[in-house]
Amino acid sequence: MKSLLKIASLLLLLTIGGSTQAQTATEVAALKRELAKYKAADKLVQEHLKTFDTLDYTVFSNQQWARMHESHGKDIKVFWPDGHITTGLATHIEDMKALFVYAPDCRIKHHPIRMGSGDLTAVSGVFEGTFTKPMPIGNGKFIQPTGKKFNFPMATIGVWKDGVMVEEHLFWDNKAFMDQIGLGK
């Protein structure tokens, strides 16, 4: 971003003050091309971030799984906070659906930090919900709901290619989550 501001400032100075011997028309044209590259790269990052906002605020929070392809590649690789890694959009959707089994009101409605560079984006958010339904733990066993709310920070780093994420790295504190829903300590 500093480079972009430096280029823009130099272009402004050249436009206002005219060229000196060292600042030829060729140099100005080169700077304009460089500025155009930065603008195009920033535009792409902003598009990815807008797509990600829609993913969390609308698609995830409202369980619109049929729209997941708008932000995720079919062979997406997802790195979860508990250490497991999945490959494929269908598997990722099933993992996300599992969150709503015991907390049907799961949602992410804020991204206080949104940034990116090139094919990478990073957002932070607040993951919220209430543990109101039995939580499956395998072998036909369940943990009964505590009725407790959860509200904790999360972050996602996305790797983008051709307009969709091909990798998604999810981060949150599972201990804080367990403590908040009454299963920690």
Give the CATH number, domain containing residue 24. 3.10.450.50
Of residues 61, 47, 139, the one with CA closest to residue 96: 61
Is residue 24 exposed (0-12), middle (13-18) or buried (19+ Cβ within 10 Å)? exposed
Question: CB of 125 within 8 A of CB of 108?
Answer: yes
Owning domain of residue 137: 2-180
pLDDT at 113 over 60: yes
pLDDT given for residue 31 in this prediction: 80
Per-residue CA distances from 152 to 26, 130, 149, 170 (Å):
53, 12, 10, 13
- Whether residue 171 is contained in a domain is answered as yes
- Whether residue 31 is contained in a domain is answered as yes
- Whether residue 103 is contained in a domain is answered as yes
Count, residues in the chain:
185
Mean pLDDT of 70-98: 96
- Mind listing the pLDDT tens digit for each residue in 93-107? 999 999 999 999 999
- Whether residue 52 is contained in a domain is answered as yes
- Whether residue 84 is contained in a domain is answered as yes
What is the number of domains present in the chain?
A: 1
112/108 Cα distance (integer angstroms): 11
Question: CB of 125 within 8 A of CB of 100?
Answer: no
φ and ψ at residue 104, rounded to 5 degrees: -60, -15
pLDDT given for residue 147 in this prediction: 97
Band (pLDDT 50/70/90 cuts) for residue 10 is low
- Whether residue 185 is contained in a domain is answered as no
Residue type, 80: W
- Whether residue 42 is contained in a domain is answered as yes
147/164 Cα distance (integer angstroms): 36
